[in-house]
Structure 1
Amino acid sequence: MVFCGRVNPITGSLVWIEEDENYDYHQEIARSSYADMLHDKDRNEKYYQGIRAAVKRVKERGEEVIVLDIGTGTGLLSMMAVTAGADYCYAIEVFKPMADAAEQIVKANGFGDKIKVINKHSTEVTVGPDGDMMQRANILITELFDTELIGEGALPSYEHAQHNLMQECWEAVPHRATVYAQVVESHRLWSWNKLLPMQLDSRTVQPPSEMESCPGAPSVCDVQLSQVKLEDFRPLSDILVVFRVDFSKQISSSPVSHIVNFTSLANGAAQVVLSWWDIDMDPEATINCSMKPSWLYPALHPVPWRDHWMQCVYFLPKETKVTQGEEMSLIAHQDDYCVWYNLTTPSAADCHSTEIAACRCGAHITWNRARFGELNDQARMDKYKEALKEVLTPSSVCLCVSDGSLLPMVAHSAGAAQVFTLESSFMAQQLMDKLLQTNNLKETIHILQKSQDNITAADLGEMKVTALVGEPFFTTSLLPWHNLCFWYSRTALSRHLAKDCTVLPMSASLCVLVVEFKDLWRIRSPCGNCEGFDVSIMDEMIKKSLDFRESQEAEPHPLWEYPCRALSDPSNLITFDFREKVPTEDIIAEGSLNLVRSGVCHGVVLWMSYQLTEDISVSTGLLEVSDETGDCHWYPHRKQGVYFFSSLWNLASAPKESQSAVTYQLTFKPQIGELRMSFIPKT
């Protein structure tokens, strides 16, 4: 056992936890996408078809079939190769626990004499009588791809293997990859990248000029693009082939730029590049596995679902106005790990800078994509504005407690005489300072870059706070209830609050809903048998790691990307009263959730709803449920908590005379800032 220091996201305090020395291993297994990949039937079938075709081509040349499988994981692709007729297979896996599992799986399926699992990085593998491989391979099988295709270091791994581990002539599965892109205008997607002007009654909050001109964060935004509606963007280009990678030829990981010329389809503002890729498993491109979004499939065509590979949203460094029929050049810059884009005219394409864009304003370092979207949510901000107008007066002394919030400016606009804002980090303080200066509020709103425990009366001008407000939002929060940090801040600030101090939000409720997921259940569902191979050892590893995890009760997911149906009515299980201090005794809720719809019960979703005033509330989770279908509409700018059941529960098979329900027991332990939960399906 080892002791590790951690900051509790709710209390904000540092705690020392005794952890098993295998903690990091269990975390990596629990957070992996192994189950998702093993459930990806389309991927598995296409790989199997491609492997069989490659083995056949080598055998037709009269050669012994020697396979190199880089990143073997469970060993599935290696077993496919031997089943297809390969004479021997070297399966490389750098993660030791996974390599050990692959060795067990290979032996359990009877392939121990034909598959050698090598626990090394592929660049460390040697060939020769005393090496890891007795001879070079003539079929190269890999699954080194991520949503961006090359983000897991696929190109350097291919480059080294082709130089050092492969014969002069080799087959590759997949054979080639093609990256596609489309230039679009999208207010919704652009609001994930820029702070847009915010209307506050008689004035508009403007972003600082350096924020407007900032090229943004260089990292790709990976999403389930199928859940972005067609009306949320306007195509300005056709779908373009940006570049191809032929894995059967020598690959270079050196930086390169690809220039693609196109004619603009419409007038608009070019802001975003949507991108995805596909892989051909054979030279003739008859076996294709595509990552394209669902709206590009023909009607009624089955759409493969996968979470380990999604689609990419790239934000252009600046918004560019284009006119219909105008010739433009999209430039894709590629190094050994990532891709980034620029847009220019054909005449300027050759002299365009190849440097990757990086944030200069600090906002893209302080706020993630979802937070940008939340700050740009005018409807949400209007609710806060309405609530603050109800509680603030010209004599109000207002203190805002949230990370990087616009509420101080809303409070000032609502009429507060004095406004203070508590910023937890130097970066957030600098960002707020720029915002206030741009909007001529630097002398009106006072920034306190201190912890709530260190605030003094002098910091507040010897005044008592008459209105304590928050969204609440804290950058350290992962799960919805982590933002109860606001309650602990309110308690720590009690000595500075007036007796009749208004607290907004006045309370928060922990809400739950029993759901059937369309696809997300796959990431936690046992695989057992995959394409005829027993991989149940992997199921045992994942289950053990999930049971081991500290946060085994729930995990965060942005449910707007993952369709689901409500099987129960939404319920408020615990209400936290922010008008009072954090209690010392546990808060316990027990009961049952009656199920009102049939379906397969996959788990429970949890979120927070905040009561700003008696008649104004905001939800960070469920927004609407369809009465007819039970389809759920989720708040898109926060992640919700998902508690997966250990096994699927089909309500259609439950006795009709019984009332199906999910019993629950929740315990919030204020002393340590921990929420413990148990949900059990019952009939």
Structure 2
Amino acid sequence: MLSVIYKTLNPSLYLRAKTHLIWIPHSLKLTATRTMSTQRVFQLKFEPLTGNSEWIVIEENEDVPESSQAPLLATTSYLDMLNDSCRNRAYRLAINKTVTKPCHVLDIGAGTGLLSMMAAQAMGSGDSTAQPNSKGTVTACESYLPMVKLLRKVLHVNGMGRNINIINKRSDELEVGVDIVSRADVLVSEILDSELLGEGLIPTLQHAHDTLLVENPLVVPFRATTYGQLVESTSLWKLHDLHTNEAKASDGIHLVPTGLHSILRVKSQQYAMHCDALTNEIKLLSEPFKIFEFDFWKRPDSHGETELQIEATTDGRVNAVVSWWVLQLDREGTIFYSTAPRWISSPINTSKGMSVCKGEEVLLNACHTETSISYNLKSQVPKTEVNQNNLNAGDFQLILPPERIAIYGDGEWRLCMLTALRNALSQKAEPLCVVADDSVFLTLCVAHLSKTAHVLSLFPGLRDKGAQYLEAVADANGFSMDHVEVLQKTKTCLTMDDTHQKKVDLLIGEPYYYGNDGMLPWQNLRFWKERTMLDPILSKDVLIMPCKGILKACAMSLPDLWKSRHSLSKIEGFDHAVVNTTLGACGDVSSPKEGPCLPFFIWQCGQIKELSEVFTVMEFDHSKPISRCQGKGLVEFTEPGICHGFALWIDWVMDVENSIALLSGPDKRYWKQGVKLLATPVAVGTKESGRTGECCSTLIEASFDPSSGELNLQHTFS
């Protein structure tokens, strides 16, 4: 059975999950919104160092300064999307071809209003001197209030505020005769994600065709088609096959015991990835094949299923299906936009691997719901044999992100953890050990390695799911749950009553927090925060693991990433400079300002080059309570090139002897790094080169604020 799918991401986009993608059969967002009315919205604010969240109110008429608005939108994908010139041009051509006379155009998910302005101009209503409705009507539907405020600014700057009617609602809340005068003749939209369907494309189109559009409307885009390709990839399979990888480790720890292969599974079926970075690690086993076709001009079905017979083009083992989508924007089929990986000249799904021979036919079953697409490869193995090691459908399963699956299966990582734990446990006779984060691995390790230790696991994200998992695998790992306790509390400020009047001898963490997948590296300093809160119950000679975090950095050339975050000016003739500050753009802004640090898998960021040695910015000493930290250093460039910014990450030192460290830099594939892009790229060189106009060093100064979890980075080139 096929068990993982990867879908590809467009090479020009680095934040927005729009193209190459991964499905894994078998999230917790940092922000969310809750619309209360057309005048007010609640924004969910998450505090990474405490795990707390609260709803903050954004008022419709509130005059919010740009500095306050920026954090709401600077970490979104709007800027990356607007910098995609191929997409913008394709939409412009298709709208000009489709909207040829005055009519009613509905733009669902209007964003900054780019498509609305294109439509208004195409039918002549973009003339700022025209009377409202004299040359057609454009309705811009946008549910996210902070974006609505930005949309109004963009329309005002372009002199089109009178010609486009903005409605701050979800499209399925619109009513003809209340919000809009009549059904729309034309629908323009861009509500697509990496998987195509994840942003609610199908239910949105269904409601629009039922209540908002005329019969046989004109639409842009006209059609979307999903494609796939069978591939073999060991590196992709590591994101899924924990059982095989931990068997190779041979360390006696069984996160996925024999007979319980499905107890710990990958978090999401679809997984966005920039597959071009894996070009040299993927073996193509078939030609590309069409999977589903979705016509925007008619009401789509909620569910669909198809079976395809795919001929293998070479021998190999099918680990994945790379899938992507292609938009046909016009009715005639002359304007297209594709999200395919570069090797297609047009996203990915992995399985335990089914061997195929050249010329052999593979049966692929594909299904779609309203919001997702899933796949299964059907082999000739009898179903009873395929399923003998899987849990029954009703049995418990723990779901983790694919990178965590890969880390837990990494032999080097496991050896580091086990060595550090053995050393720590050897110093304690009957230790009380607290696992402060969501590490099921460390809990299993302590219980397995020490028959005298008592383990308290907090599991702030997993909670009772972690407890259920431990109970299920206890016997296979040779320990009794009598020695393991999962505290069912939402707080980490424990008392002596929680520890049975015993001080904590060993405080450990990976650190890893469930649901924090997209966070910046230093936001895992939540471990340090929790260590501080636990201080009253720690023994005087407590061992803390990791004992410290070291913030590392490296100057980088990142031309593709920088381009995707570059400031906007004219987009197909429409002025967008007003959005730059709010969206966190870099380069050529009115008041030069660098954007925020953002998390990326740097190895997926297109063309990259390290321009300096890795250097230490500051250290975070976990033996002491959390405090404000500062650091600085002079960094010399070792390679000539264009510096676009700095990569930052934390290496976790596990022992006081500094002999065991877990590294998470750009060469480590399963960790995200923080990226600080420069306002303006700088030409750099080595001292030996001595070329005029090149900087040969930079002074880095940084400070960490424990009250907010924010890292402030300053630099001076010389």
- Give TM-score scaled by structure 2 length: 0.75
In structure 2, the partner of 1:288 is 336
Aligned-pair Cα RMSD in Å: 4.3
Question: How far apart are the structure 2 equivalents of 1:37 and 1:225?
Answer: 18
1:485 is the counterpart of 2:520: no
Aligned to 1:436: 474
Q: Which residue of 1 aligns with 2:287?
A: 238
Q: Decide whether aligned partners of structure 1 residues 216 and 544 sit closer, same or farther in structure 2, where only a CA change above 3 A counts.
A: closer
Partner residue in 2 for 1:641: 674
Aligned ranges 1:355-374 → 2 under 5 Å? 361-364=396-399, 367-374=400-407
SS at match of 2:582: helix
Task: Show the counterpart of 2:140.
Answer: 92
| Structure 1 residues 105 and 409, CA gap change in structure 2 (3 angstroms) | closer
Aligned-residue offset at 1:236: 4.6
1:151 alignment partner, SS class: coil
1:516 aligns with 2:557: yes
For 1:45, the equivalent position in structure 2 comes to: 89
| 1:518-597 matched pairs, under 5 angstroms | 518-543=559-584, 554-563=597-606, 564-578=608-622, 580-582=623-625, 586-597=628-639
Task: Write out aligned runs for 1:118-517 (5 A).
Answer: 118-125=167-174, 132-133=180-181, 136-137=184-185, 139-197=186-244, 198=246, 199=248, 201=250, 203=252, 205=254, 207-208=256-257, 209-212=259-262, 217=267, 219-231=269-281, 233-248=282-297, 250-265=298-313, 270-297=318-345, 312-314=347-349, 325-344=359-378, 361-364=396-399, 367-388=400-421, 392-393=425-426, 396-397=429-430, 399=433, 401=435, 402-410=437-445, 418=453, 420=455, 422-424=457-459, 425-442=463-480, 446-449=484-487, 453-454=493-494, 456=496, 459=499, 465=505, 468-475=507-514, 477=516, 478-490=519-531, 502-517=543-558
Q: What is the CA distance between 1:326 and its match in structure 2?
A: 4.6
CA distance in 2, matches of 1:651, 1:175: 45
- Call closer, same or farther: CA 1:359–1:587 in 2, change over 3 Å: farther
Residue from 62, 74, 79 that aligns with 2:112: 74
What is the CA–CA distance in structure 1 between the aligned matches of 2:335 and 2:561, rounded to whole Å? 26
1:650 alignment partner in structure 2: 682
Contact 2:229/2:322 (8 A) holds in 1: yes
**Amino acid in the other structure paired with 2:218:** E
**Partner of 2:8 in structure 1?**
none
Partner AA of 1:618 in structure 2: A
Deviation for aligned residue 1:361: 3.3
**Identical amino acids, percent of aligned pairs:** 25
Cα displacement string for residues 628-664 of structure 1 (whole angstroms, at most 9, x for unaligned residues): xxxxx4322222222334x223326999378555444
* Residue of structure 1 equivalent to 2:648: 606
SS across alignment from 1:432: helix
- C-alpha separation between the residues in 1 aligned to 2:358 and 2:198? 34
Shift of 1:5: 10
* CA drift at 1:620: 4.2
Given that residues 519 and 562 in structure 1 are in contact (C-alpha distance below 8 angstroms), is that contact kept between their aligned partners in structure 2? yes
Matches of 2:625 and 2:499, distance apart in 1 = 24
Counterpart Cα distance in 1 of 2:423 and 2:354: 42
Q: Which amino acid aligns with 2:550?
A: S
Superposed CA deviations along residues 439-469 of structure 1, whole A, max 9, x for unmatched, are 223369634436664365995896973x554
The range that moved more, 551-560 or 453-462, is 453-462
Aligned counterparts of 1:287 and 1:2: Cα–Cα separation in 2: 38
1:29 aligns with 2:69: no
Q: Output the amino acid matched with 2:468.
A: Q
- For the Cα contact (< 8 Å) 1:397–1:463, is it kept in 2? no
Q: How many angstroms does 1:379 deviate by?
A: 2.0
Matching residue of 1:352:
none
In the alignment, the residues of structure 2 paired with residue 568 and residue 216 of structure 1 have an alpha-carbon distance, to the nearest angstrom, of 36
Please give the secondary structure, in 2, of the residue aligned with 1:228: helix
Q: Distance in 2 between matches of 1:154 and 1:651?
A: 44
Judge conservation of contact 1:553–1:676 (CA < 8 Å) in 2: no
- Residue type at the aligned position of 1:176: R
| Contact 1:392–1:416 (CA under 8 A) maintained in structure 2 | no
Q: Tell me the alpha carbon deviations over residues 323-357 of structure 1, each in whole angstroms, 9 at most, x when there is no partner.
A: 665544322222222212233369999xxxxxxx9
- For residues 225-249 of structure 1, what are the alpha-carbon distances to aligned partners after superposition, in whole Å with 9 as ceiling and x for unaligned? 2223442x4445432200112223x
Aligned counterparts of 2:41 and 2:168: Cα–Cα separation in 1: 26
Count of residues in correspondence between the two structures: 631
Contact 2:111 2:151 in 1 (8 A): yes
Distance, in Å, in 1 between the alignment partners of 2:544 and 2:327 is 55
The alpha carbon displacement at 1:292 in A equals 0.5
- Equivalent position amino acid for 2:275 in 1: L
Change in Cα spacing, 1:532 to 1:375, as seen in structure 2 (3 Å) is same
What CA deviation, in whole Å up to 9, does each residue of 1:379-431 have, x standing for no partner? 22123334445555396556362422423454577678636352422222222
Q: Is the 8 A contact 1:448 1:459 kept in 2?
A: no
Tell me the SS of whatever aligns to 1:37: helix
Q: Offset at 1:104?
A: 4.0
The alpha carbon displacement at 1:178 in A equals 0.9
SS at match of 1:222: strand
SS in 2 for 1:159: helix
Query: Unpaired segments of 5 or more residues in structure 1?
Result: 298-302, 304-311, 350-356, 623-632
Q: CA deviation at 1:51?
A: 2.2
1:167–1:607 distance in 2 versus 1, CA, 3 Å: same
Give TM-score scaled by structure 1 length: 0.78
Q: Displacement of 1:101 after TM fit?
A: 3.6
Provide closer, same or farther for how the CA distance between residues 169 and 442 of structure 1 changes in structure 2, counting only shifts above 3 A: same
Do the aligned residues in 2 keep the contact of 1:515 with 1:566 (CA within 8 Å)?
yes
**C-alpha distance in 1, partners of 2:266/2:273?**
18
Q: Whole-Å Cα distance in 2 between the matches of residues 361 and 542 of structure 1? A: 42
Residue 621 of structure 1: aligned partner: 664
Is the partner of 2:155 in helix, strand or coil? helix
Q: Aligned pair 1:667/2:703, yes or no? A: yes
Higher relative contact order (CA 8 A, sep 6+): 2
Matched residues in 2 for 1:673 and 1:53: separation?
50
Question: For the residues of structure 1 that align with 2:41 and 2:212, how far apart are their CA atoms?
Answer: 40
- Superposed displacement of residue 575, structure 1: 1.8
Q: Give the corresponding residue for 1:629.
A: none
Q: Distance in 2 between matches of 1:192 and 1:68?
A: 41
Q: Which residue identity is paired with 2:256?
A: P
- Compared CA separation, residues 334 and 438, structure 1 to 2 (3 A): same
> Contact between 2:116 and 2:139, CA under 8 Å: does it hold in 1?
yes
- SS of the counterpart of 2:326? strand
